[in-house]
Chain A
Amino acid sequence: MRELFCLPAIALGAMMSITGVPILGGVAAPAAAATLSGGFDVGPGGFQGNFNPLAATAGLTWLSIYFEPLISYDEKLEKIVGVLASSYEVSPDQLTYTFKLADAKWHDGKAFTAKDAKFTIELAANAKTGSIFAARLKVLSAIETPDDHALVVKLSAPSASLLDTLTKIMVLPEHALAAVPADQLAKSTWWSTSPIGTGPFKFVKYVQDQYVELTANPDYRGGKPVLDRLINRYFANPASAISALRAGEIQFTYIDSNDVPTFKDDKSFRVIEGASFVVNYLGFNQDSPLWKDLRVRQAVMYALNRDAIIKSLYGGAAKPANCAYVAGQLVPEGIEAYPYDPAKAKQLLDEAGWNKINGDKPVTLLTYYNTPLATNVLAAVQAMLAQVGINVVPRAVDAPTYNGLVLKPDADASQFQLVYAGLQNGPDPSNINTGLNEKQIPPAGANVVRARMPDLTKALDAAIAETDVAKRHQRYQDVCKVMNKDLPWATMWVANRYGVVSSKVKDFIWTPAPGGGPYVAHPEAWKLSE
C-alpha cells in the first residue's frame, strides 16, 4: 500500500521529464534593445498572412515599412505627400500626372528607376495579376518614362481618386519580378520568402503564422534606421495580443476601445488615439416597405440618443455624424442635428401610420460587428427604438456572411430590413459613393441599402466629376446636405480607434488608418529607450 504513495511523485516526475522542467526558471529575456516587436497586423487595419501589396485590402501599415509607394498620406491622413516620388504635378486638365522620382536603391543594391514605377502600375492595372486595383486603374491611357527619374501617367478621363489609389500601390522591383508571368504572380513564393523593396527595413523571414522579421536597411536614403530589427507578431485572438503586450513580449498592438480604460492610467504604456474614418450608420433597406415614408426615417433619428451612447459606451471618443462626414470642411452650416427627442419620434411615427406599416412586428437588423462594444451599442439602439414602438431584432454575423447576404443582386430584403454597418468616409471622401449612389446598387456596387434617391445620386455624381480641387469640398457639402435631408441612413457617428505602445518606444508614429493606410510613419526614426 505504501508504494502507492509514490505514484503521484512518479506522475509528476514523468510530466516534468516530458516537458523539461528547467523551463520554469528561464523566462523570456526582454527583447534586445534594438528590436521592436508589435502586433502590426492586429485589428481592422491589419491583414495577417498577406505579403502581396497588389492584393492588400488591408495591412498597409506593415507592408509600407519595407515597400514604399510613390506617394502617401501624411500621418494625420490630411494631405498626400511624396515618398518614392519627391514631387508631383497634375496638369490643369487633370489628365497628366508627372512624378519626379527620388534617388533610391532596392534592398539588393540595384538602383530604383522610373521603369520600376511603370512596371508596378502596369501590374496593378492588370487584373490577371490578382490586383485589386485593376478596376480603379481603368482610366489609365499611357505611362511614360522620359528618363530614370521621371514618370508621366496619362489618363483617358479625369479621376478624383487616382492619387488616393496610388498611395496604396507599393512600388515593386522590375528586375526581380519581370520574369514571372502575370497570372502566376499571386502564387509566387517571392512575396513571403525574398521580397525586396526600397523602405527603411529589409525583409528577413516569415515564420508560418508566427511572425515576420525585418532588419534595418543601412543604405536607406533617409538615413540608417535607429532600430536593428522589427518583428510583426501574429495573433489569432486580440486578447492574446494584449497578453503579450502586458507580458512585455511585444511593445505595440491595436486594441478595441473597450480595452482602453485598462491602459489609460498605466504609465508603462501610451494609448494612441486616431480617427477611424469609418462612419457608422443604421441603413434603411429601401427594398423593404417599412422605410418608404421619410417621417419614419426621421423618427429613427430622433429616437436615438446618440450623445448618450457616445458618452457611456465610447467614453466620448466618437463624433456624432449627421451625414456621412464629420470633417469640418465637408459639413455645411445649418444642417439638421436630429437631437434626441422621443416624443417627436413617436409623433412622426403616428403621422406616418407606423402602426399600419409595421406596428410592433420584429424588424431585422443585420450587422457584421461582433465586438462587445457593438453588442452594447445594438442593445442600446434596440431599447431606444423600442421606446418609440419600433421593435428591432439585432443579428450579428461574420463579415463574409454579411457580404454574402447584402451584396447578392437578388438579396432578400426581409433578412436585413436594417443594417448596422460602417463605410469609409475618408481620407478620400468619394469612398461613400459606392454605398449610396443609385448606380451602385448590387451587383454594380456596394449600395447595400438599395438607396434610390435621385437628388443624392445627382449630388454624388457631381462631386465625383468635379475636377476643380477648390470646388470639391463644396460638392461634398452638397452630398452631406442631401443625405441629412433624405436620410438614406440614420447616420450615427465616426468613432476613434486605438493602439497601445510601450512607453519605452520613442518617436513612434502610428494611426488607425482604414486598411492600415499607408501613411508616412518614418520607421527609420523609431527607437527604444531603456
Chain B
Amino acid sequence: MLRSCLKRLAIGIGMLIALSMLVFVLLRLTPGDPIDAYIDPSTPLSPAAMADLRDRLGLDQPLPVQYIGWLQQALHGNFGYSIKRLDQPVLTLVLSRIGPTLLLMGSALIMAIVAGIAAGVIGAVRRNSVTDVSLSVLALAGISSPAFLSALLGLYIFAVRLGWLPSGGMLTPGEDFSLGDLLRHLILPSALLAVAQAALIMRYMRASLLEVLNQDYVRTARAKGVVEFWVIVKHALRNALLPVVTVIGSTIGLAIGGAIFIESVFNWPGMGLLLVDAVTTRDYPVIMGAALVIGACVIVVNLLTDIAYAVVDPRIKMG
C-alpha cells in the first residue's frame, strides 16, 4: 500500500508539472498581460511607463525562457512576487489562503455529508412517502441552483432581510479575534456551499441504499429477526456507503468551483477569492501558484479517497 501510494504521489508530481505548463501557456494565450490589467483604459498610462514596468517584470522575454525561469525558481520553492501586490511573495499569499478555504470547504463538506447521508437514508427507508418526495425535490433544486445564485439569494435573505448573519468577511472588522465571531461569519457561506454537495450525496445515498436493501443478505438479516435499525445501520448502510464515498471524493472538485463563487460573494479570504482577483488582474505568478496548490489538493484528495475506499471495502486492494 505504501509503495502504491508513493507511485501515485510521483505521478501526481508529474501531473503538477504538466498542469503548470498548461496554465502557463493558457495564460499567455489570454489577451492582455498584468500591465494591461494595471491600467484603466479611461485613464491610460504613458506607454513609456508601461514599457518600463513590463521590462522590470521580465514580461518582454520569450515564453520558453519565462517558463523555464519560473520552473527553476519554483523547484527551489520560490514562486516569485505577486504582480498586483508587489510586497507579497506568492507562496505566503497562497499559503495564507489555504486555511480559510479549508475551513470553509471542510465545514461545508461535513455539513453536506451529515445532511446528505441522513436525508438519503430517510428517503430510501421511507421510499415514495411524502418525506421522500419532498427531499428529492429539494435535492433537485439544490443540484440545479448555481452557486452564484444561491449565494446571492442566501445573502439577501439571511444578511440583508433578516439581519441574522453578517453579509461577508471572515471576522468583524476592527474587533479582536473570537471563535464565535468566526463561526458567525462561517455559517452562511459554508451552508450555502454545502447545499449542492448535500443534494448530490443524498441522491447517491438513497439510490445505493435502495439497491442494497433488496439484496439477499439483508433479507436474511431480517429473517433472523435483527431489529430494523441494525439491519440498516449495520448490514445495509456499510455496503451502501461504498459508491457514496467515491461521490464525496468527486464533490471536492465541485466544492472548489462553488467556493470560488461563494468566496467572491462573501468576501471570504480564501483561494477562490485570490484566484478570481488574480485572473482579473492577470497576476501570472499568483495564478500559477494558486493553480498548483489547488491541483495538489485535488490530487491528494483523490489519493485519500482511494485509500478510504480500500478501508471501507476489503475487496479492493490498492496498487
* A complexed with B: yes
The answer to the question of B269 belonging to the interface, with a C-beta cut-off of 8 Å to chain A, is yes
The answer to the question of B1 belonging to the interface, with a C-beta cut-off of 8 Å to chain A, is no
Comparing A306-314, A349-357, A440-448, A452-460, the segment that makes contact with chain B is A440-448
Q: How large is the interface on A (under 10, 10 to 19, 20 to 34, 35 or more residues)?
A: 35 or more
| Docked pose: A14 CA to B194 CA in angstroms | 14
Q: Do B184 and A26 have beta carbons less than 8 Å apart?
A: yes
User: B30-67 interface mask toward A, CB cutoff 8 Å, 1 = contact, 0 = none?
Assistant: 11111011111111111111011100100000000000
| Docked pose: A442 CA to B265 CA in angstroms | 37
Q: Do B114 and A11 have beta carbons less than 8 Å apart?
A: yes
The answer to the question of A470 belonging to the interface, with a C-beta cut-off of 8 Å to chain B, is no
Q: Do B87 and A401 have beta carbons less than 8 Å apart?
A: no
In the complex with contacts A18-B110, A424-B43, A243-B167 CB distance below 8 A? yes
| Docked pose: A471 CA to B203 CA in angstroms | 77
User: A132-157 interface mask toward B, CB cutoff 8 Å, 1 = contact, 0 = none?
Assistant: 11111000000000000000000000
24 sampled A-B residue pairs with Cβ under 8 A: A8-B119, A11-B115, A15-B114, A20-B180, A27-B165, A49-B277, A57-B38, A132-B53, A134-B52, A190-B87, A192-B85, A211-B173, A231-B174, A236-B277, A240-B167, A240-B265, A240-B267, A278-B42, A403-B41, A404-B31, A404-B36, A407-B47, A434-B46, A446-B47
User: B267-282 interface mask toward A, CB cutoff 8 Å, 1 = contact, 0 = none?
Assistant: 1010001101100111
The answer to the question of A10 belonging to the interface, with a C-beta cut-off of 8 Å to chain B, is yes
| Docked pose: A57 CA to B45 CA in angstroms | 8
| Docked pose: A248 CA to B166 CA in angstroms | 10
In the complex with contacts A11-B115, A23-B184, A57-B45, A37-B267 CB distance below 8 A? no
The 8 A-B pairs with the shortest beta carbon distances in the complex, nearest first, are A400-B32, A404-B32, A403-B36, A446-B44, A11-B118, A400-B37, A404-B31, A422-B42
Q: How many A-B residue pairs have CB under 8 A?
A: 245
Which of A15, A49, A401, A445 has a CB less than 8 Å from the CB of B44? Answer: A445
Best-buried of A188, A189, A208, A445 by chain B (most CB within 10 Å):
A208
Q: Which residues of A contact B186 (CB under 8 A)?
A: 19
The answer to the question of A52 belonging to the interface, with a C-beta cut-off of 8 Å to chain B, is yes
List B residues at the A interface (Cβ < 8 Å). 30-34, 36-49, 51-53, 56, 81, 84-88, 96-97, 107, 110-111, 114-115, 117-119, 121-122, 125-126, 152, 155-156, 159-160, 163-174, 179-180, 183-184, 186-187, 190-191, 228-229, 232, 263-267, 269, 273-274, 276-277, 280-282
The B contact surface, by secondary structure, is helix
- Nearest-neighbour CB distance to chain B for A129, whole angstroms, equals 10
- Nearest-neighbour CB distance to chain A for B59, whole angstroms, equals 12
List A residues at the B interface (Cβ < 8 Å). 1, 3-4, 7-8, 10-11, 14-15, 18-20, 22-24, 26-28, 35, 37, 44, 49-52, 55, 57-58, 127-128, 130, 132-136, 186-192, 207-211, 213, 229, 231, 233-237, 239-240, 243-244, 246-249, 278, 368, 397-407, 421-424, 431, 434-435, 442-446, 514-515
Q: Do B169 and A186 have beta carbons less than 8 Å apart?
A: no
